[in-house]
């Protein structure tokens, strides 16, 4: 099974940088696998996924790491299947993810899609690379969940 793990988010907007930080943690602490590709998509999650709607070759399973408003305590991690993602009536831009205009056609291809979502504390108006303590502390937990789901092994340091 081919698996693509995508970290989404803006590293200059505090807790929104969670996805890229989890990707960094995975790369530093877990063994790569031939069947698992890990990508920091930054603000381009939709741009990575959209071509897969029509491509003949696509991963069997995409795991997307991002912050979401889960109505939970900051730092809470949830594993959410794509068909459980709420429908948002209007998408302003492809940077606002998850976008049902991308998810629904991908699911019709038979692709499996899972979100590793973290409740953010706040997304600042200004620029900062600092995550809140709650979200920063959730990074290892998110990485362990992903490793368990995909079979990634820990690196020996």
Q: What is the structure's pLDDT at 97?
A: 55
pTM over 0.75: yes
Please state the φ and ψ torsions of residue 64, each to the nearest 5 degrees: -110, 130
Q: Give the whole-angstrom CA distance, residue 43 versus residue 96.
A: 9
Q: What is the structure's pLDDT at 89?
A: 43
- Token pair recorded at residue 79: 């594993």
Instruction: Kindly list the distances between the CA atom of residue 54 and the CA atoms of 43, 91, 114, 121, in Å, as whole numbers in the listed order.
Output: 21, 21, 20, 36
Give Rg (Cα) of the chain. Answer: 15
Q: Give the whole-angstrom CA distance, residue 105 versus residue 114.
A: 15
Given the structure tokens 């709607």, which residue do they identify? 53
- Which residue(s) pair with 79 in the sheet? 116
Q: Where are the domains of the chain?
A: 3-150
pLDDT in tens, the chain (157 residues): 799 999 999 999 999 999 999 999 999 999 878 899 999 999 888 888 888 888 888 999 999 999 988 889 999 999 999 888 765 444 333 344 567 788 889 999 999 999 999 999 988 888 989 999 999 999 999 999 999 999 988 887 6
Q: What is the structure's pLDDT at 66?
A: 93
Q: What is the structure's pLDDT at 94?
A: 36
Instruction: Kindly list the distances between the CA atom of residue 31 and the CA atoms of 36, 81, 87, 102, 154, in Å, as whole numbers in the listed order.
Output: 10, 25, 35, 30, 6
Architecture of domain 3-150: 3-Layer(aba) Sandwich (3.40)
Q: What is the structure's pLDDT at 98?
A: 63
Q: What is the structure's pLDDT at 100?
A: 76
């Amino acid at each position: 099974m081919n698996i693509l793990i995508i970290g989404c988010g803006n590293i200059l907007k505090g807790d929104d940088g969670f996805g890229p930080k989890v990707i960094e943690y995975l790369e530093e602490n877990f063994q790569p696998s031939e069947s698992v590709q890990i990508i920091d998509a930054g603000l381009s999650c939709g741009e990575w996924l959209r071509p897969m709607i029509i491509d003949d070759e696509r991963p069997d399973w995409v795991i997307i790491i991002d912050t979401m408003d889960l109505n939970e305590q900051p730092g809470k991690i949830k594993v959410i299947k794509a068909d459980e993602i709420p429908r948002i009536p209007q998408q302003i831009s492809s940077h606002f993810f998850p976008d049902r205009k991308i998810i629904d056609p991908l699911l019709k291809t038979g692709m499996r899609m899972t979100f590793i979502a973290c409740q953010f504390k706040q997304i600042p108006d200004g620029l900062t690379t600092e995550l809140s303590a709650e979200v920063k502390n959730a990074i290892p937990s998110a990485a362990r969940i992903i490793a368990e789901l995909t079979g990634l092994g820990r690196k020996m340091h």
